[in-house]
Amino acid sequence: MAAAASLVAAVGTVAGMVSALDGPEGGDVARPRVTRSPDLLPLPAVPTATSASVSPGPSPSPSDAKTAKKKPKPAPSASTGRPVAPASTRLYRHADSQVVDWVRAHRSDPRRPLIESRIADRPAAVWFADFTPGTITSRVRAVTSTAAHEGRVPVLVPYAIPERDCGGASEGGAPDIAAYDGWARKFAAGLGSGEVVVILEPDALSQTECLSGGQLADRYAALARAGRAFKSANPRARVYYDAGHSDWNPAGTQAARLRAAGAASPDSSDGIFTNVSNFNRTSAEVAYARRVLAAMGGPPSLGAVIDTSRNGNGAPANGAWCDPSGRKLGQAPTLRTGERGIDAYLWVKLPGESDGCKGEPGSFAPDYAYDLAD
């Protein structure tokens, strides 16, 4: 990944996501299973001559080597790492995740009560990172129907854009734009009729340096079509587009990309998301999101959501990205932020899942989770 958010877990290794395999006859039969979630690594934007390697994850991918970047801007003064508000009861908590499995299997572990109460019991996003057109509708529907039955709002992350991760550790996705269009339409067919939040393709508009001009135009058009398909299939779907984060692309640059991808149109978009899997403080992301929204020039109804899963102490001053010590959980997930233009604080990255230093990339690391929650 070319800037502050890069993935180490490859497609097909996504935890916290509802995953299913095509049946023996290719039927659209949902079979939820827990795998691993993508880990967006907070690497700042300007390349240097040095590089750092990350151990490859268990799924087939070429190389997990990542290029080191210059350090991000220093974080503002420290604040408490504990969640400052209870989680919204309206957000959906997916019961099939690595942290939930760990809690169930370790009832006598002294770390369990804290991890359970502060992480496992919180609502978090459900990732769909595998390109399985034959099952995507039923797998999305399995989440949205369960959430609707509970009267809660699920957060879904479609993550199958072609040329994903620019050929890095999380390369994959659909083989081409036409295949992605079909996958997105099938994803839309599972959205149901209840309220749902869609975090559309993290990094797809922030990391584009590997694309030719034609490929970039195709990506913009595909994301616009996906947003329209989601909102057409379910008018209550709230679709948010990738704005990177405050230490990555300038607000004007990101706003131009967002406009090109349809994010300024209410027919396809409800706004933007920032800080996915990163550590930047909420205050910095709020200010950045507002600058991006202003530069986009869309209707005032557009808003922003911010990933607060690990930003309680802000980003490390030394630019460390791999399970850095001293980080804490941020603002608990909620649909009521009290901030103008900020629609939600969400846990898109699943806290406690390793970046690759305190466990295998994407695996649940209880010591890391405990440190985040303590």
User: Which residue stretches of the chain are H helix?
Assistant: 98-105, 112-115, 136-150, 177-189, 213-233, 251-260, 282-296, 366-373
Residue 196 has pLDDT above 90, yes or no: yes
pLDDT of the residue at 41: 38
Q: Please give the Cα distance from 165 to 87 (Å, whole number).
A: 31
Q: What is the pTM of this model?
A: 0.80
More confident residue, 82 or 256: 256
Residue 82 has pLDDT above 80, yes or no: no
181 is catalytic: no
pLDDT exceeding 70 applies to what percent of the chain? 76
Q: What is the mean pLDDT of residues 91-118?
A: 96
User: What does pLDDT average to over the chain?
Assistant: 81
Is the separation of the CB atoms in 158 and 226 below 8 Å? yes
Which residues, at least 6 apart from 3, have a Cβ–Cβ distance to it below 8 Å?
43, 44, 45, 69, 206, 207, 244, 247, 248, 249
Residue 33 has pLDDT above 50, yes or no: no
Q: Please give the Cα distance from 156 to 260 (Å, whole number).
A: 23
Q: What is the mean pLDDT of residues 275-279?
A: 93
More confident residue, 79 or 294: 294
Question: How many CA atoms are closer than 13 Å to the CA of 247, on its beta-carbon side?
Answer: 31
| Strand pairing report for 196-200 and 271-274 | unpaired
55 band by pLDDT with thresholds 50, 70 and 90: very low
Is the separation of the CB atoms in 270 and 95 below 8 Å? no
**The amino acid at 134:** G
Q: What angle do CA 22, 55, 285 make, to 5 degrees?
A: 85
More confident residue, 210 or 20: 210
Residue 11 has pLDDT above 70, yes or no: no
Is the separation of the CB atoms in 244 and 254 below 8 Å? yes
Is the separation of the CB atoms in 160 and 7 below 8 Å? no
360 band by pLDDT with thresholds 50, 70 and 90: confident
Residue 26 has pLDDT above 50, yes or no: no
Active-site option among 28, 64, 130, 203: 203
Residue 66 has pLDDT above 60, yes or no: no
374 is catalytic: no
Active-site option among 28, 130, 218, 355: 355
Q: What is the mean pLDDT of residues 142-151?
A: 97
Residue 85 has pLDDT above 60, yes or no: no
Specify the DSSP class assigned to residue 94: -
Report the run of H or E that residue 342 belongs to, with start and end.
strand 342-346
| Strand pairing report for 271-274 and 237-242 | parallel
136 band by pLDDT with thresholds 50, 70 and 90: very high
**The amino acid at 294:** A
User: Which tokens belong to 242?
Assistant: 């990738």
**The amino acid at 37:** S
355 band by pLDDT with thresholds 50, 70 and 90: confident
User: Which tokens belong to 214?
Assistant: 């034609």
252 band by pLDDT with thresholds 50, 70 and 90: very high
367 is catalytic: no
Active-site option among 28, 39, 64, 165: 165
Sign of the Cα torsion 350, 351, 355, 359 reads negative
**The amino acid at 114:** L
pLDDT exceeding 90 applies to what percent of the chain? 69
246 band by pLDDT with thresholds 50, 70 and 90: very high
Residue 334 has pLDDT above 90, yes or no: yes
Residue 24 has pLDDT above 90, yes or no: no
Cα-to-chain-centroid distance, residue 81 = 20
Looking at 110-124, 165-179, 247-261, which range is the least confident one? 165-179
Strand, coil or helix: 107: coil
272 band by pLDDT with thresholds 50, 70 and 90: very high
